[in-house]
Chains A and B, each alone.
Chain A
């Protein structure tokens, strides 16, 4: 074998979540009122458009969650037993393999986006004496023999990307028009135009970037000369893990405790309310900080648990998700408790109880399906909040492992770079753009979901 697969904890959880989401989505189509809500969501172009963009992010994150350790080249000089194959200590992902050029093409230090020279002066000793100049980059624009062709080359590549994007967009649009004609006019259907325009905008940016990225650093390079685009793409996975894996802890806790408190009332309600008031009363960042500081001590004192640095960083990420989950279930639990209190007095639940249906069955069959919309809205809203929180936590120094690429660490590194002369703004701008798109899409989707379910419940009553 040329590689050895590595299954990190966060990979496992992320894939598990992806399958669970598909499974739950399939299950939810069986319930009539949920199917109606999904159909109404599908008719909203904003919802379909943002979902498309989020799917692109998810795809990148999932590709980045298949890890392996490449096999090391045999070293004939070393006196080792020939049958033992060695694997690199460094863990790579499928995304790394796809972006091999971006990953490996290191410059010496900062270079501006699309530049062909470093952004810092360097002193060079030539036979004619000492000269100061901005040296050419090792990879960015290295194919250009003559620098005067720089602007022309950039324009040509960007134009190629734009033309290709326009062609693809035209094809998709024609396919959509064909699909429209086959359907009876006037019937409201799935808002394909949302998907179409989202894909169009995505292609319009992605294709020129892809064409340019072949020979340039589209978003520049950072202090150690690493490509900023690569960093941003890798950061997506971190953001997704933080935003999604956390819900794996948060949602079960919130559903269980919220329903138990609302349905059984009495001492269980008092106890659960007490616990969440205590957790809520501690300022969020401080509680997370306290827990993370403690976790750090555990990780530092047990370095023998981890085979590679990637595994240590990964466990820290999962632990951070766990901490965030344990500290953030209170809001959703309170919401579910209130809704359960309201629902349990309704006639259909009273009737079920009068028929002698057991509490467990009432909860799973009658309460849970009518609470799901709150959970789904909370999931999407918390996702965007968690992505923003990660950046803040990494800035304070209690976020992800410093070696792990994330939007927070990108911002944190970029903070000092702005005060350089000339200012290094590209890392920050890239992190800003990627994060804004991700969070904005999630927020818009949450809005659409809220409207859909608000209509749904008001339509029932």
Chain B
């Protein structure tokens, strides 16, 4: 198992390098640092001196890949690529436009992001599984039909409307919860309840419909027929046999998403003023702070790859027929 894990981890390295090169190409080759400086400083009335100063302050005045003026290994390390892109591998993300250390900012903002993302994720999963089980139990009835229609309806509504509408109704009209903000300690739940609720309502339609197909796939399998033939009541067939087997594809599919919870939700966090990574990203995009966007891209892809590895592991854990290292 250890050898298998190591191989998967090694496989992740070229992907991260690919992501790194791609973002580097997007941010430095398509547009030169001069263009960036001009945009940050305002296109008009900008002197060559101002651009030079801006670049020097941020370390963008180096050559891209190869520094011919430096000596020894500095030829490679005194370049934008190694200073800005390659150093992300050792967790050095540089500084944002406002001068703060990005790595520390990310570490402090992870908590609030998780405080929203984890409850939303678990609740959505739980509610969706319960609803999907109900729909599958009453399959091919009116309840099932309208349940699916409602799921499609819920999917067809933009998440923006859930957030704007929810904020308007619960916070402004009925004044049940504060409109936005984030607190410390136990009193925090008042800030969290609405974003979590909205996240669940927004996500539950698609998941329910998706999970329902897993249940329906199991319903007609041989072992289920055997269980019915033995004379087991339908409820027992569902909870003892179908639920357990259908949970395998559901849970293994969901494992890939767990690491991405750290990234937070872009929209929810920015609407509710939660100081997490999602709102950090949005602010960076709005301020055109490229170093933060670059760092978030890198972290996001690293988390995605962790998710892939976790999925592989979870497959082997739940299904004894799959063995490590054998395809």
**Chain A residues engaging chain B, CB cutoff 8 angstroms:** 274-275, 277-283, 285-287, 289-291, 293-294, 297-298, 300-301, 384, 388, 391-392, 395-398, 407, 411, 414-415, 418-419, 423, 425, 428, 432, 435-436, 439-440, 443-444, 447
Docked-complex contact A397 and B160, CB < 8 angstroms: no
Q: How many residue pairs at the A-B interface have CB separations less than 8 Å?
A: 122
Docked-complex contact B260 and A283, CB < 8 angstroms: yes
Binds A, one of B103-111, B150-158, B224-232: B150-158
Docked-complex contact B301 and A392, CB < 8 angstroms: no
Q: Can you report 22 A-B residue pairs in the complex whose CB atoms are below 8 A from each other? A: A275-B18, A278-B301, A280-B304, A281-B19, A282-B23, A283-B263, A283-B296, A286-B293, A293-B285, A297-B39, A298-B31, A392-B160, A396-B285, A398-B285, A411-B158, A411-B161, A418-B168, A423-B172, A432-B157, A439-B156, A440-B153, A447-B152
**Chain B residues engaging chain A, CB cutoff 8 angstroms:** 14-15, 18-19, 22-23, 26-27, 30-31, 35-36, 38-39, 43, 152-153, 155-161, 164, 167-168, 172, 260, 263, 266-267, 281-282, 285-286, 288, 290, 293-294, 296-297, 300-301, 304-305, 308
Docked-complex contact A411 and B160, CB < 8 angstroms: yes
In the assembled complex, the Cα of A226 lies from the Cα of B38 at a distance in Å of 35
In the assembled complex, the Cα of A234 lies from the Cα of B99 at a distance in Å of 43
Query: Which residue of chain B has the shortest Cβ distance to A280 in the bound complex?
Result: B304
Determine the chain B residues whose CB is within 8 A of the CB of A444 once the complex forms.
Answer: 152
Docked-complex contact A392 and B158, CB < 8 angstroms: yes
Given that A388-B158, A392-B159, A396-B285 are known contacts, is A290 also in contact with B23, CB under 8 Å in the complex?
A: yes
> Which of A274, A297, A384 is the one whose CB lies under 8 Å from B31?
A297
> Which of A274, A286, A384 is the one whose CB lies under 8 Å from B296?
A286
Docked-complex contact A391 and B160, CB < 8 angstroms: yes
Docked-complex contact B152 and A443, CB < 8 angstroms: yes
Report whether over half of chain B's contact residues are helix, strand or loop; otherwise say mixed. helix
In the assembled complex, the Cα of A300 lies from the Cα of B43 at a distance in Å of 8
> Which of B15, B39, B152, B297 is the one whose CB lies under 8 Å from A290?
B297
Given that A396-B266, A439-B156 are known contacts, is A286 also in contact with B281, CB under 8 Å in the complex?
A: yes
Query: Which residue of chain B has the shortest Cβ distance to A412 in the bound complex?
Result: B160
Docked-complex contact A397 and B35, CB < 8 angstroms: no
Determine the chain B residues whose CB is within 8 A of the CB of A419 once the complex forms.
Answer: 172
Give chain B nearest CB distance to A396 CB in angstroms.
Answer: 6
> Which of B152, B285, B288, B296 is the one whose CB lies under 8 Å from A440?
B152
Determine the chain B residues whose CB is within 8 A of the CB of A435 once the complex forms.
Answer: 158
Given that A283-B297, A286-B300, A294-B30 are known contacts, is A278 also in contact with B160, CB under 8 Å in the complex?
A: no
Docked-complex contact A423 and B168, CB < 8 angstroms: yes
Given that A282-B300, A283-B304 are known contacts, is A290 also in contact with B27, CB under 8 Å in the complex?
A: yes
Given that A294-B31, A397-B286, A418-B168 are known contacts, is A282 also in contact with B297, CB under 8 Å in the complex?
A: yes
In the assembled complex, the Cα of A397 lies from the Cα of B266 at a distance in Å of 13
Known pairs A274-B15, A286-B297, A435-B158. 7 more at Cβ < 8 A?
Answer: A279-B22, A282-B301, A290-B293, A294-B30, A392-B160, A397-B286, A428-B161
Given that A281-B19, A293-B290 are known contacts, is A418 also in contact with B164, CB under 8 Å in the complex?
A: yes
Give chain A nearest CB distance to B179 CB in angstroms.
Answer: 8
Determine the chain A residues whose CB is within 8 A of the CB of B22 once the complex forms.
Answer: 278-279, 282
Docked-complex contact A396 and B282, CB < 8 angstroms: yes
Determine the chain A residues whose CB is within 8 A of the CB of B27 once the complex forms.
Answer: 290, 294
In the assembled complex, the Cα of A279 lies from the Cα of B15 at a distance in Å of 9
Give chain B nearest CB distance to A374 CB in angstroms.
Answer: 16
> Which of B161, B167, B266, B286 is the one whose CB lies under 8 Å from A285?
B266
- Give 7 closest A-B pairs by Cβ, nearest first: A281-B301, A278-B18, A283-B300, A281-B304, A439-B156, A440-B156, A297-B31
Docked-complex contact A293 and B293, CB < 8 angstroms: yes
Determine the chain B residues whose CB is within 8 A of the CB of A278 once the complex forms.
Answer: 15, 18-19, 22, 301
In the assembled complex, the Cα of A439 lies from the Cα of B15 at a distance in Å of 35
In the assembled complex, the Cα of A280 lies from the Cα of B266 at a distance in Å of 18
Determine the chain B residues whose CB is within 8 A of the CB of A407 once the complex forms.
Answer: 158
Query: Which residue of chain A has the shortest Cβ distance to B263 in the bound complex?
Result: A283
Docked-complex contact B35 and A301, CB < 8 angstroms: yes
Docked-complex contact A395 and B160, CB < 8 angstroms: yes
Given that A289-B285, A440-B152, A444-B152 are known contacts, is A274 also in contact with B14, CB under 8 Å in the complex?
A: yes
Give chain A nearest CB distance to B196 CB in angstroms.
Answer: 19
Give chain B nearest CB distance to A312 CB in angstroms.
Answer: 15
Determine the chain A residues whose CB is within 8 A of the CB of B305 once the complex forms.
Answer: 281
Determine the chain A residues whose CB is within 8 A of the CB of B301 once the complex forms.
Answer: 278, 281-283
Determine the chain A residues whose CB is within 8 A of the CB of B294 once the complex forms.
Answer: 290
Docked-complex contact A384 and B159, CB < 8 angstroms: no
Give chain A nearest CB distance to B227 CB in angstroms.
Answer: 25
Docked-complex contact A391 and B158, CB < 8 angstroms: yes
Determine the chain A residues whose CB is within 8 A of the CB of B266 once the complex forms.
Answer: 285, 392, 396
Determine the chain A residues whose CB is within 8 A of the CB of B36 once the complex forms.
Answer: 297
In the assembled complex, the Cα of A298 lies from the Cα of B36 at a distance in Å of 10
Which of B158, B159, B285: most chain A CB closer than 10 A?
A: B158
